[in-house]
A and B are shown apart, each in its own frame.
Chain A
Amino acid sequence: MEFEEFVAARMPALLRFATVVTGDPEYATEVVLAALVKAGRHWRGIRRMPGPEDQLKRLIIAEYLSWRRRKAVRALPPTEPPADEDLDAELWTALAGLAPRQRVVLALRFFELLGPDEIAELLGWREAEVRTLGARGMAALR
């Protein structure tokens, strides 16, 4: 599949994923654009790998975790929380207080519905590390 075809087909899913990871639609745009620019640069190699979309998700997470691009994290919680979603606003306030890697693990666990072993494989982290990050994140939210 050519890069342009892939992007056209998977852009909505990538944006949804990035919005959940970052919590902010504008920041998600910035992160996805940066990840796609890098992916386009190395597309010949990426398309040969199993699951190009996973490679893109890795790039999105790497961009999010990169300190140079984390300026919008402070925008959490959402700037316009709907009045009838107090729980949502409260939850995002709590999420904003988590370490970025904890937020990443929780997003993959509860949005992508991946298990700790799958998250570890996707991110190249140790499974024990993923479990610890997830447990600490959940403990903080509780």
Chain B
Amino acid sequence: MTVETALRVAFEARAERAPEPERVLAALGPARRRDRWRRGVLAEGAVVALTLVIGVAYALTHPPPPSPLRGPVSTVSIGYGPGWLPDGYVELRRAADTYSSDSGRARTWGMPGWRLPNGQSPQIEVSVNGRWGRRDGVRVDRWSEALTSGTGKITVNGHPAVEDEDYDVFCSITWLEAPDLILGVSTNSVPGRCATVLRIARSVGPVSGITATLPLRVGLHGADTMSSEVIRNGRDCMAAVLVAPDKLPPLTVELRPGGFVRGGTPFRLDGRSARYYKAMMDWTRPPYDLDGPAVMVDVGRHRMLVVAGDPGEPDTTPATRATARETLVAVARGATAGPLPTCGWD
């Protein structure tokens, strides 16, 4: 039997082991409901529309709560860092949670332009988080979650830790550095997998002078998470704020160099050139889900402000709406931007 014939036979035999369609069909409804929940849609039909109107009005008329951010440019101390990394990695991203009190922070390293045969690019992330956070309006214990999802218990420098190596190219180690402080190291497609992660984790300690300088601020109040980051995107450096407002679909706000993306409907926003895109497809940016509506505003000095919304699900029952143009415009109007970041960390 040739290899070609053997493959055909083996594939056909394997197809016969496919799961029962009824079982998967039964799981599809709950999976779609979880997805909608995750995407911030909590009510149906008109209630959704009413919630959107009330939520946006509330968010735009109430002043933001005390925040680590003061002014357009804020500097957040990362606090912890690795003493060792494999050779060849450069820093790509610094991020900080700029809304919640526990101020999660993270740094990411990669090898730009270098890809494995499977198409993946190696990345390393070191994160610093408070033990307690909020998700979908509910308080969560991140350490309990890590214990549940981990595949093995270990220690890092004497602290209790969990390892997650369920992915064939991914490994993460999370440990309880202090009763209210969780540190983590995760890698994707990095040689040595968990052995490399453990070596990095053991080298992590307090550092001073390592900060994230965040030039973009979003005046939207009432978010579960509002993560600000500065990220290297090819030759460019850009800032982004990822917002998951309570009871509203998620939004992404960016400050990046360059000009307008092709297409869109031109308009003026407070005297500035702007465009509205019913559905912006721009895959040149980091891997955010940005196939929804967006507003771009030229804020001068070669800076573009981008507010990207949620595409909605008009064909589902109940249908959900794409983020309204008025919402995008209001968020753009409430954002303040400093100078373009430089990603000059190295």
Contacts and interface: CB of A to CB of B under 8 A. Distances in A.
Interface string A91-133: 1100100011100001100110000000000000000000000
A37 B36 CA distance: 9
Interface string B1-13: 1011011111111
Given A3-B316, A71-B166, A88 B120 contact: no
Interface stretch (B17-25, B204-212, B217-225, B227-235): B17-25
A15 B170 contact: no
Nearest to A19: B18
Contacts of B19: 15, 19, 25-26, 28-29
Given A40-B316, A44-B314, A20 B14 contact: yes
B138 interface: no
Contacts of A110: 4, 7-8, 11
B270 interface: no
Considering residues A36, A37, A42, A106, which has the most beta carbons from chain B within 10 angstroms of its beta carbon? A37
B285 interface: no
Given A36-B28, A67-B120, A67-B167, A107 B21 contact: no
A70 B119 CA distance: 13
A73 interface: yes
A84 to B, nearest CB: 11
A8 interface: yes
A29 B27 contact: yes
Interface string A43-69: 110000000000000000000010110
A135 interface: no
B169 A70 contact: yes
B313 A16 contact: no
Contacts of B291: 42
B168 interface: yes
Contact of B18 (A12, A36, A42, A85): A12
Contacts of B4: 110, 138
Contact of B170 (A26, A42, A67): A67
A91 to B, nearest CB: 5
A91 B6 contact: yes
A68 B149 CA distance: 14
Considering residues A41, A42, A65, which has the most beta carbons from chain B within 10 angstroms of its beta carbon? A41
Q: Sort chain A's interface into a size bin.
A: 35 or more
B31 interface: yes
Interface string B285-323: 000000100000000000000000001011110000000
A101 B343 CA distance: 33
A40 B207 CA distance: 46
Nearest to B189: A67
Contacts of B12: 111
Interface in B13-54: 13-15, 17-19, 21, 23-25, 27-28, 31-32, 35
Contacts of B28: 7, 33, 36-37
Interface of B: 1, 3-4, 6-15, 17-19, 21, 23-25, 27-28, 31-32, 35, 117-120, 166-170, 188-189, 291, 311, 313-316
21 contacts: A2-B315, A7-B25, A7-B28, A20-B15, A29-B23, A33-B24, A36-B31, A37-B28, A37-B35, A65-B119, A67-B169, A67-B188, A68-B170, A70-B169, A70-B170, A78-B17, A100-B118, A101-B117, A101-B118, A141-B7, A142-B3
Top 9 closest pairs, chain A to chain B, by CB? A111-B11, A71-B166, A16-B15, A11-B21, A15-B18, A19-B18, A110-B7, A43-B315, A16-B18
Interface of A: 2-3, 7-8, 11-12, 15-20, 23, 25-26, 28-29, 32-34, 36-37, 40-44, 65, 67-68, 70-71, 73-74, 78, 85, 87-88, 91-92, 95, 99-101, 106-107, 110-111, 138, 141-142
